[in-house]
Chains A and B, each alone.
Chain A
Amino acid sequence: MSAVRQALAHAGKPDELLVARPTVQEAPLSAEVGVPPRANGRSDRQWLDYQHDVTLADVEIARQEGYEHIEHLKRYTTCGMAVDQGKTSNLNALLTVAEMSSKSATEVGTTTFRPPFTPVTLGAVAGRQTGARYAPQRLLPAHAEHEALGAQWWEAGGWMRPACYPKKGETVQQAAQREASAVRSGVGLFDASPLGKIEVTGPDAAKFLDRFYVNSIAKLEEGRVRYGLMLNENGVIIDDGTVARLGRDHFLVTTTSGGAARIAAWLEEWRQCEWPDLEVFVTPVTTQWATYAIAGPRARQLLARFRTDIAFDWRSMPHMSLRQGRFAGATARLYRVSFSGELGYEINVPARYGATLWTELVKTGADFGVTPYGLEAVLLLRLEKGYLHVGADTDGTTTPADVGWGEIAAKKKADFIGKRSLARPDNQRANRLQLVGLASSDAHLLVPGAHLRLPGTAEGSDGWVTSAAHSPALGRMVALAMLRGGRERLGQTIFAHDLERKGEATVVSPAFLDPEGKRLHA
């Protein structure tokens, strides 16, 4: 629980706090309210407003320049405009003005009081946003089913999501290792329902989307899927995901789960404000569909246990494709994509069927060891493949070239958001931070956040580890890092520092497992 949450939890119910709210005497101002503060003879050392650093000298200057009315004086000096809204200074100022102008305090009057001049309790500010109602919680269509399987929950982007499904006595790490291994050797099930989904339709849909992605979308064939990077105007990566073409003028965009609302708003902003001439429509449909990833060498065997009119054999449905049809009686969209590096499908059905589809997948695959896996295993599997995790491996400065997409971005002839910025000299520096893999014999050295130094560097940082974990498939630690001029340093030895630990690591390719992609094309 965060400090803020704890504070609010202790604050109790707002209604209780209202009872205890302090009352403030609002007696009419009288001429006998006091005398202006005078600590010593120097007006530039006599503070009237301790928060905004306003002195008696400031008031004198204001009056000399004609700001005599108390409201004018307030704005000129900013006396009373700090966070306490004059609670500790207004009286000082008005008594000073009264003295200077030989008026009574009543004649000088007061400025308009704004909150929080009158005390406001934290409980009143929080309202009903306390405890369980601090922030909305989003539940998966199969929330109860995950609970029944013993899911350990993670709150991610407002969603309650299974981190893993620990067996008795297992730690989170042990469960994640077991689940990831099961995906590599058999078949795993992952609830990917929060994955952002946005339908883009209209005669200009292809042209519209082409302006967002670093790679070409307009030429995408119907039924095919393409992975792409999205940039902001500065050429910085803001999201990644896939685009599927459902029809000539119909696309389905997927975004990161955390980016679903943000990217929908981003598309909508450009559509409405920059390109109103384009005939295109943007519709977020994230929660319309329950989405389950079925990954592993036995993924097809599991799908075959369901009645469907979708041909999903390797010839009919290659890697990076999408088919629509019926699946166990429900309307379905079946992707063949992979975030694990294994043969992978993602089945989408209307959310009302999400709970029963999950249950059936678990039950039906039980005889060949289908294994539900959570976010921990997902992140481990993608790390073994060197797949990018936007927001973890990237930050607010990372460009496509930094993650190995420089040639793709340079090759695309059509314009896209951020393209111009990629030509800036700083974005073309050879010694920018670049994504690399790291290997080390020290199992405890490579942890996310550990800083890196090149040989001969005595101070400062030449990069840092962005993701790291023990790979069950390789039996050793694997890590991704952003390293200064990293791609030119493959094979070199560098130094990693984590708190008091220091050791050597070797710069390697980020694709630790199956770099040829044989497993996902199986």
Chain B
Amino acid sequence: MPEPIATLVEKSSLPAGGRVISDTLRFSILPLRTVLRLQLGVRSQKSVAALRIAGRSLPVAMNSWMGDDPVFMRIAPDTWLLESALHEAADLVQAVRSGCGRRSFAVTDVSDAFVTIAVEGALATALLARGCGLDLSPGAFGNAACARTRLAQLPVVLRRVTSERFECLVDRSAAQWLYEWMEDAAEGL
């Protein structure tokens, strides 16, 4: 009888290292991050300004984000995404539970359901505009903006990190397809 299999290793078939199209456009699939989905009940939403998770405030305005790590994004009236490259999911879940206390809430680890694709450069907006209906001009979608929207027919959460950097959370199963769409859409830019 062989030794039982004790450890599975993480494996991704997604392209690593990213793609540099030009000095003005590059995109890359980022290493897997912790992503939590936090939902608050109706009454809890009203007191969100007073809520602290790991000592940090949550964004109150719809479609806005704040924080460096974890990043908090409000993507729906009752839903926030927490994204982190530094924190383990279990630790962050515990921080959410402590912060929410007796509030009505649900927190779910969805780290494996999402892949983050970063799009950078002066032409980042032009690339995204080829598949996204949002007005991504800085006046309409500034550096504090995020939104659940559609990109290349896919549901995504798009976040403007800086004037020339966006991060796009896409379902893991469709990440390869979106990456290839970006390669195609970059032609002629």
Which A residues form the contact surface with B (CB < 8 A)? 15, 127-129, 132-133, 135-141, 143-144, 159, 194, 199, 201-202, 276, 279, 281, 283, 285-289, 304-307, 328-330, 349-357, 360, 364
Which B residues form the contact surface with A (CB < 8 A)? 2, 4-13, 32, 37, 39, 41-42, 104-106, 108-113, 130-131, 152-154, 171-174, 176-178, 180-181, 184-185, 187-188
**Shortest distance from the beta carbon of B78 to any chain A beta carbon, whole Å:** 8
Chain A to chain B: the 6 pairs with minimum beta-carbon distance, closest first: A281-B106, A138-B173, A351-B112, A329-B7, A288-B113, A355-B11
Asked if B8 contacts A356 (CB within 8 A), the reply is: yes
Partner of A360, one of B8, B130, B154, B188: B8
By a CB distance below 8 angstroms, the chain B residues around A138 are: 171, 173-174, 177
Asked if A141 contacts B172 (CB within 8 A), the reply is: yes
* Nearest A residue (CB) for B8: A353
Asked if B130 contacts A128 (CB within 8 A), the reply is: yes
Q: List 24 A-B contacts (CB under 8 A).
A: A15-B187, A128-B152, A128-B185, A136-B153, A137-B177, A138-B171, A138-B174, A139-B174, A141-B172, A283-B108, A283-B110, A285-B110, A288-B112, A305-B2, A306-B5, A328-B5, A328-B6, A328-B7, A350-B112, A351-B112, A352-B10, A354-B11, A355-B11, A364-B5
By a CB distance below 8 angstroms, the chain B residues around A133 are: 152, 180-181, 184
Asked if A202 contacts B104 (CB within 8 A), the reply is: yes
**Shortest distance from the beta carbon of B85 to any chain A beta carbon, whole Å:** 15
Once the chains are docked, how many angstroms separate the CA of A488 from the CA of B10?
55
By a CB distance below 8 angstroms, the chain A residues around B42 are: 276
By a CB distance below 8 angstroms, the chain A residues around B32 are: 352
Asked if A279 contacts B41 (CB within 8 A), the reply is: yes
Q: Interface of chain A, helix or strand or loop or mixed?
A: mixed
* Nearest A residue (CB) for B170: A136
Given contacts A136-B174, A305-B2, A349-B8, contact A285 B154 (CB under 8 A): no
Once the chains are docked, how many angstroms separate the CA of A287 from the CA of B12?
14
**Shortest distance from the beta carbon of A14 to any chain B beta carbon, whole Å:** 10
Partner of A307, one of B5, B9, B41, B112: B5
Once the chains are docked, how many angstroms separate the CA of A43 from the CA of B153?
50
Partner of A287, one of B5, B13, B113, B131: B113
Asked if B172 contacts A351 (CB within 8 A), the reply is: yes
By a CB distance below 8 angstroms, the chain B residues around A306 are: 4-6
Once the chains are docked, how many angstroms separate the CA of A356 from the CA of B6?
12
Once the chains are docked, how many angstroms separate the CA of A306 from the CA of B7?
9
By a CB distance below 8 angstroms, the chain A residues around B177 are: 136-139
Given contacts A136-B174, A136-B177, A356-B11, contact A305 B108 (CB under 8 A): no
**Shortest distance from the beta carbon of A206 to any chain B beta carbon, whole Å:** 15
* Nearest A residue (CB) for B185: A128
